């Protein structure tokens, strides 16, 4: 079945960088758009970034634009989120999610289980 | 940015009851609205998309309706496993946005 497994979370100091990974299985990864969404502790969901199946289009939320970079490596069935200049307010669980089609604007289904990023000195 | 406002913030109900959750958009999202369910300690999962289409494996007691700016998620008869937080989400324009969520708790 479709499975998404995030990794790379942890405790990082403000201003530092971190790279998250999301390994996909159970579907043809290169055929689908992929998203990153986060959830701060006790808060709601915030969409962060999307990449089309072929990388031809990428979009970001304003809150992370210029600091975060989404990318994919289809040979490894892996989605990435490179995060730089991290701030305390970036502390959250980070989820990857598969789009329902090659285009990034499609619905999220399914979601990964998430990885926790804590930005603290 | 399209703002989605969900109401109520918390809904207390008993198993077997019918509940209705609301999602209002700050501008029309046409039929580009979905609902996600999140249980404590778990990732969200897609329940309803395109206003009223149930995602794979979602029971028929979940239904969605609405258009434009006003949308509803109805659970016809609450099961114990339905106590969770429900989020609406739009995809008509960037950035994609979610509502603040409605928590359905046991009365």
Residue A38: its pLDDT value, please?
98
Residue A81: its pLDDT value, please?
98
Query: What does the angle CA B60 – CA B64 – CA B66 come to, to the nearest 5 degrees?
Result: 155
pLDDT bin (cut points 50, 70, 90) of residue A104 is confident
B8 upstream amide cis, omega within 30 of 0: yes
pLDDT for residue A78 is more than 90: yes
Residue B33: its pLDDT value, please?
98
Q: Chain A within 8 Å of B99 (Cβ-Cβ)?
A: yes
- How far apart CA A6 and CA A111 sit, in angstroms, is 10
Q: Chain A within 8 Å of B96 (Cβ-Cβ)?
A: yes
Contacts of B19 (CB under 8 A, 6+ apart): B11, B13, B74, B75, B78, B104
pLDDT bin (cut points 50, 70, 90) of residue A94 is very high
Q: Do A47 and B96 touch (CB under 8 A)?
A: yes
**Which candidate from B42, B97, B99 shows the least CB-CB separation from A47?**
B97
Q: Chain A within 8 Å of B64 (Cβ-Cβ)?
A: no
First to last CA, chain A: 40
Probe site for chain A from B23, B31, B41, B43 (most A CB atoms < 10 A): B43
- How far apart CA A16 and CA A69 sit, in angstroms, is 14
pLDDT bin (cut points 50, 70, 90) of residue B15 is very high
Q: Do A113 and B43 touch (CB under 8 A)?
A: yes
Percent of chain A with pLDDT over 70: 100
| Region label for B50, one of left (φ > 0), alpha (ψ between -120 and 50) or beta (otherwise) | left
DSSP conformational letter for A3: E
What tens digit of pLDDT does each residue of B54-99 get? Answer: 999 999 999 999 999 999 999 999 999 999 999 999 999 999 999 9
- Calculate how close chain A gets to B31, using CA atoms only, in Å: 12
Task: Provide the 10 A C-beta neighbour count for residue B102.
Answer: 23
- How far apart CA B95 and CA A79 sit, in angstroms, is 20
What tens digit of pLDDT does each residue of A27-76 get? Answer: 999 999 999 999 999 999 999 999 999 999 999 999 999 999 999 999 99
- How far apart CA A110 and CA A99 sit, in angstroms, is 8
Partners of residue A110 in chain B, C-beta under 8 Å: 43, 45-46
Residue A105: its pLDDT value, please?
86
Q: Chain B within 8 Å of A42 (Cβ-Cβ)?
A: no
pLDDT, mean of residues B98-107 = 96
Q: Chain B within 8 Å of A61 (Cβ-Cβ)?
A: yes
pLDDT bin (cut points 50, 70, 90) of residue B34 is very high
pLDDT for residue B107 is more than 90: no
């Amino acid at each position: 079945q479709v499975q998404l497994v995030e990794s790379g979370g942890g405790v990082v100091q403000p201003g530092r960088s971190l790279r998250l990974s999301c390994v996909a299985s159970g579907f043809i990864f290169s055929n689908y758009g992929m998203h990153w969404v986060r959830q701060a502790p006790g808060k709601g969901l915030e969409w962060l970034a999307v990449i089309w199946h072929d990388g031809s289009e990428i979009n970001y939320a304003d809150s992370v634009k210029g600091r975060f970079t989404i990318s994919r490596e289809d040979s490894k069935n892996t989605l990435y989120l490179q995060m730089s200049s991290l701030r305390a307010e970036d502390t959250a669980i980070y989820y990857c999610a598969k789009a329902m089609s090659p285009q990034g604007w499609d619905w999220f289904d399914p979601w990964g289980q998430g990885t926790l990023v804590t930005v603290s000195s | 940015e399209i703002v989605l406002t969900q109401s109520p913030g918390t809904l207390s109900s008993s198993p077997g009851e019918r509940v209705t959750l609301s999602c209002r958009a700050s501008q029309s999202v046409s039929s580009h609205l979905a609902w996600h369910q999140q249980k404590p300690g778990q990732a969200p999962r897609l329940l309803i998309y395109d206003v009223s289409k149930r995602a794979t494996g979602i029971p028929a007691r979940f239904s969605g309706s609405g258009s434009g700016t006003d949308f509803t998620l109805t659970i016809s008869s609450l099961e114990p496993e339905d106590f969770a937080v429900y989020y609406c989400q739009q995809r008509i324009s960037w950035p994609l946005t979610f509502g603040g969520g409605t928590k359905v708790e046991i009365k």
